[in-house]
Each structure stands twice: as C-alpha cells, then as structure tokens.
Amino acid sequence: MTPIIVFIVSSVPLQLGGAASATGVFFRFTGFCTSIALVNYFSLSGQSEHVTRFRQTITDLNPAVTQKLNGYRQLLISRGMAPDQAGKVVNGLLSRSVHAQAQMRYAMDYDQLVSCLILVVILLIALYPYINRTVVNLKVNQPEFASY
C-alpha cells in the first residue's frame, strides 16, 4: 500500500499533497479493515461448516470415535484422574479436538482460495499485454489487432 500512497501523492500538485496523502491512508485503512472483517466472517462460517460436518460423523457406532475416547480416558486415568471424572472430561477433549480439526480445515480452504486468486492475478498480468493490443472493432464484430 505504501507505493500506492507515494504514487498518489507524487501525481498531484503540491498544494493537494496533504489531501492526497490523507486519501491514500484512508483507502489503506479501509482496505485493511475490510480484509480483517472478511477473514473473520469467513473464518467463523467456514469453521462452523466444518464443525457441523465433523459432528455428523461422531457417533457411538464409529470405531474411530470410541477408540479416541478410550485413548483420552486411559491417558487421563494414567495421569491420576479419577475414572468417573475422566469420563466427563473426555467429551470436552473430543470437542476441542473437533474444533482444532475444523480450524485446520478452514485454514486449508483459505490457503487454497488465496492460491487460486493469486494464480488468476498472475494470469491476468501475464495476458494483459495481449489483451491490451487487441481492439474490438464494433462495426465488424471481429477482434482486430491494433497497429501502432
């Protein structure tokens, strides 16, 4: 954002430098706040989607769940917790594990989305000279290369 603000300030007359600087900082602040808001919103919605999906697979019939619960229970008992208390704590540990998995899945989804967006931007930058040289002639309705 700093190069954009410097470009804005350097492209206006001297008497408008303060307003141009304030405008650049305003847009930087607005962009930053918008990006933080979007990341937080999509983080909450993405995580809740993954938590819902994970909780649909957690049943007493699933052997992986019972194995995980028994592993947690044995670990707590081996560390000195009473067996009846360990049975109550195990569900909380499973819930924390589900939320951690949902956070990781959201991070993977977010990284994939950002990678796709970066790829699209790179392709647009790479194709811009070819697109810029092509002028559409509206009378013929055929693309035509511009001659310089």
On whether the CB atoms of residues 22 and 8 are closer than 8 A, the answer is no
**Over the stretch 3-47, which tens digit does the pLDDT of each residue have?**
777 877 888 888 888 888 888 889 889 989 999 998 899 888 888
- Please count the residues of the chain: 148
Contact of 101 with 49, CB cutoff 8 Å: no
Contact 4, 24 (CB under 8 A): yes
Name the helix (H) or strand (E) containing 144. strand 142-145
18-27 burial string, b = 16+ CB within 10 Å, else e? Answer: eebeeebeee
What residues contact residue 88 under an 8 Å CB cut-off, 6+ apart?
A: none
The DSSP bridge pattern shows strands 134-137 and 142-145 to be antiparallel
| Predicted TM-score (pTM) of this structure | 0.63
Q: How far is CA 80 from CA 73, 74, 84, 97, in A?
A: 11, 10, 12, 22
Indicate whether 65 pLDDT > 60: yes
Choose among 141, 51, 56: nearest CA to 103: 51
CA distance 77 to 83: 6
Position 137 confidence tier, pLDDT thresholds 50, 70, 90: very low
Q: Give the single-character DSSP code of 16.
A: G
Would the pLDDT of 119 be above 90? yes
Quote the pLDDT of residue 123.
95
Domain boundaries, the chain: 1-40, 58-132
